[in-house]
Amino acid sequence: MTPILQVKGVTKRFGGLTANNSISFDVAEGEILSVIGPNGAGKSTLFKLIASFLRTSSGEVLFKGQRISNLAPHKVARMGVVRTFQETTIFRSMTVRENVVVAHHLRSKASLLGFFLGTSQARSDEAEFGVSADEIIGFLGMDAIRDELASNLPQGHLRALGMAIGLATNPTVLLLDEPFAGMNHDETMRMVSLVRRLRDERGVTVLLVEHDMPAVMKISDRIVVINFGEKIAEGTPAEIQSNEKVIEAYLGS
Ligand code: ADP
Ligand code: MG
């Protein structure tokens, strides 16, 4: 089967700094794959290249066999490759539910402008997508705060809203950059089971950058390790935990 995502020799230079150096790996459909590595290793850069928020210096990223690198990021999101967290756009003057509905429109045919102007097309979409918006809010256990203004939400709920916005765009591949950062153990475990359900119940392919190693080992089918912009290992959690290079570069520290 063709991998849903193929990262092929992707390189990113920022002036003299090589943040990603010819990184290659495949992701199978429905897989949960984590990218780990020390701070500054190039993980966020890699996710930005995959979602086409940054242009590659060389190499390419294929989604369902089609090149997506260096397309406009909104096009890539529309195709179904969606990056969330670290810099997700949340409209603070809107409620939780309004934020989710707006995110739906970003992927839908109706223009966002139509949504704000309240044109009839946008209104029928609002009805159509309203159901899903509420489903997503329920899925994330956010029913009690659906009418809260985003500006009033504590950090934990803001992260859940970031997730809701990502889901509202109906992703095929969801890129989560440090979704458990700042969460306590219970919140992390809740999020871990949520990511699992996304894959199990909705078939979403998930790429994850995360520092919480117990959570990473628990949730991942496979792990890619990068250090100084280079891929140094790839394998199952068990393989990664016993890999000498990885222990030396990262896990042992
Ligand atoms: P990670 O997410 O693994 O912590 P990043 O991908 O954020 O690492 O950063 C990798 C390296 O690239 C770092 O040295 C960082 O300072 C550098 N970097 C990231 N983004 C930029 C940028 N826009 N311009 C210049 N350097 C950058
Ligand atoms: Mg990062």
Residue 133 lies in a domain: yes
Same domain, 76 and 88: no
pLDDT of residue 116: 52
Looking at residue 170, its pLDDT comes to 78
Does residue 35 lie in a domain region? yes
Tell me whether residue 228 is in a domain: yes
Contact between residue 19 and residue 12 where contact means Cβ atoms under 8 Å apart: yes
Residues 71 and 91 occupy one common structural domain = no
**Structural domain harbouring 61:** 1-80+175-180+205-253
Cβ–Cβ < 8 Å for 208, 34? yes
- Answer yes or no: is 193 within a domain: no
Distance CA 165, CA 208 (A): 17
Ligand 1 geometric centre to CA of 230 (Å)? 13
Whole-number Å distance, alpha carbon 226 to ligand 2 midpoint, is: 12
Ligand at minimal distance from the CA of 87 is: 2
**Which residue, of 123, 147, 170, is where some domain finishes?**
170
Say how many Å lie between the CA of residue 193 and the centre of ligand 2: 23
Q: How far is the CA of 182 from the centre of ligand 2 (A)?
A: 14
Q: What is the CATH number of the domain that holds 98?
A: 3.40.50.300
Q: Which of 115, 147, 170 lies at the terminal end of a domain, its last residue?
A: 170
Q: What is the pLDDT of residue 180?
A: 82
Residue 114 maps to a domain: yes
Q: What is the pLDDT of residue 253?
A: 55
Same domain, 101 and 74: no
Q: Is 47 a domain residue?
A: yes
Residues touching ligand 1 (Cβ under 6 Å) are 14, 17, 19, 37, 39-45
Residue 232 sits in the same domain as residue 162: no
**Atom 5 in ligand 1: which residue has the minimum CA distance?**
42
State whether 145 and 157 are in the same domain: yes
DSSP the chain: ---SEEEEEEEEEETTEEEEEEEEEEE-TT-EEEEE-STTSSHHHHHHHHTTSS--SEEEEEETTEE-TTS-HHHHHHHTEEEESSS----TTSBHHHHHHHHHHHHSSS-HHHHHHT-HHHHHHHHHHHHHHHHHHHHTT-GGGTTSBGGG--HHHHHHHHHHHHHHT--SEEEEESTTTT--HHHHHHHHHHHHHHHHHH--EEEEE-S-HHHHHHH-SEEEEEETTEEEEEE-HHHHHT-HHHIIIIIT-
Residue 55 belongs to some domain of the structure: yes
What tokens does 235 get?
């394998």
Q: Which of 99, 78, 75, 71 is nearest to 169 (CA)?
A: 78
Q: Is residue 75 located within the same domain as residue 2?
A: yes
CB atoms within 10 A of CB 244: 9
Query: In this structure, is residue 39 part of a structural domain?
Result: yes
Report the nearest atom of ligand 1 relative to the CA of 46: 6
**Counted domains in the chain:** 2
Q: Which ligand has its closest atom nearest to the C-alpha of 229?
A: 1
In this structure, the answer to whether residues 90 and 164 fall within a common structural domain is yes
Ligand 2 centroid – CA 229 distance (Å): 12
212: DSSP letter: -
Give pLDDT tens digits along the chain (253 positions).
789 999 999 999 999 999 999 999 999 999 999 999 999 999 999 999 999 999 999 999 999 999 999 999 888 988 989 887 555 678 889 999 999 888 877 665 444 445 555 555 545 444 444 447 888 888 788 999 999 999 999 887 888 888 888 888 778 999 999 888 877 888 788 888 888 988 998 889 999 999 999 999 999 999 999 999 999 999 999 999 999 989 888 776 5
pLDDT at 224: 98
Strand partners, 82: 174
Give distance in angstroms: CA of 123 to centre of ligand 1.
42
Q: In what order do the strands lie in the sheet with 230-235?
A: 81-84, 173-177, 205-209, 32-36, 222-227, 230-235
| Among 10, 12, 14, residue to substitute to test ligand 1 (most atoms within 8 Å of Cβ) | 14
Q: What is the ipTM of this complex?
A: 0.99
18 and 55 in contact (C-beta within 8 Å)?
A: no
Mutate to test the pocket of ligand 1, among 34, 44, 45, 225 (most ligand atoms within 8 A of CB): 45
The pLDDT of residue 166: 82
Alpha carbon distance 149, 147 (integer Å): 6
Q: Ligand 1, closest atom to CA 48? A: 6
Q: Let me know whether 72 and 28 are in one domain.
A: yes
